Amino acid sequence: MLAVAQVLISGIALGCVYGLVALSFVLIYKATETVSFMQGELLMTGAFAALGLHLGAGWPLAAAAAAAVAGTALLGAAFERIALRRAVGRPHLVAVLLTFGLGLMLRGAVASVPAAAQETHRLPIAADAVRLGPLTLAAGQLLVIAATMLVAALLALFFRATRTGLALRALSEDARSAALMGVPVARMHTLAWALGAGLAALAGLLLAPVTFIHLNMGLIALKAFPAAVLGGLTSLPGALAAGIFLGVAEALAGLALPEGVKDVVPYALLMLALLLFPAGFGAGAQGRGR
């Protein structure tokens, strides 16, 4: 039982990272109806930016992490202003391909730094172990869970208690009506891309103590995107819940099944869940609440 409890907490921590990346997908999709295929590269860029500021420039870790998240958010806003805004009104495939191309550019830019392309790095974030009764847990995992809870609470407060958050919610419900009521649609689109990029960078920082920092760490977005789909693609709580669900399923599969099978089990469960809830967990919960 002790091993199961530790694996469960490990799965929840990994699922929180999936959930944060899934939230970034959903934030962008709700506001712009665009699926971003550069979230993995933004995650990787944010982690490398913090690494460079801390170990390269000598910034304190907290300042480097905050600057990396803020800088990645500005990068997302710049991408929207420079390129993605031009795709508004065109077929959805145009915006999707633009995000794919921008992601490749980001990956190429980071890979052009020799140390980034050839080495695996570690940020000194919560590297110690913590004892909770009979359990010995990695402090990094507890940090991931606590940070995810804080981000979820702040996002809920933002969307319920601020004018900007309410404007974003109105835009996601009906863009035409929101525009007629005075919501600055273009500005809200920029904000959504910035928030999505910042969340991806934060997920990269939280993933750093678990998997280290390397050029391929953005591939985790391939698991986070199914979580966003499972959550309904328009439900923020649903995306977070689905991310934790997939993380726990993957961890338990790693404990009970042969090595390698754990990477398949979450996708099998994903397909089963989508058969039971075709519109995602979020839509299922709404339907039962009616």
The pLDDT of residue 171: 87
Query: Which residues contact residue 254 at a Cβ distance below 8 angstroms, ignoring those fewer than 6 apart?
Result: 7, 262
**Mean predicted lDDT score pLDDT of the chain:** 85
Given a cut of 90, is residue 123 above it in pLDDT? no
Given a cut of 80, is residue 278 above it in pLDDT? no
The pLDDT of residue 280: 62
pLDDT in tens, 136-172: 778 888 889 999 999 999 999 999 999 999 998 888 8
pLDDT > 70 in the chain, percent = 94
The pLDDT of residue 211: 76
pLDDT in tens, 244-270: 988 888 888 887 777 777 777 767 777
Mean pLDDT, range 176-184, rounded to an integer: 86
CB contact at 8 A, 46 and 196 = no
The pLDDT of residue 288: 46
The pLDDT of residue 187: 92
Out of 13-27, 65-79, 119-133, give the one with best mean pLDDT: 65-79
Residue 45, both tokens: 């860029």
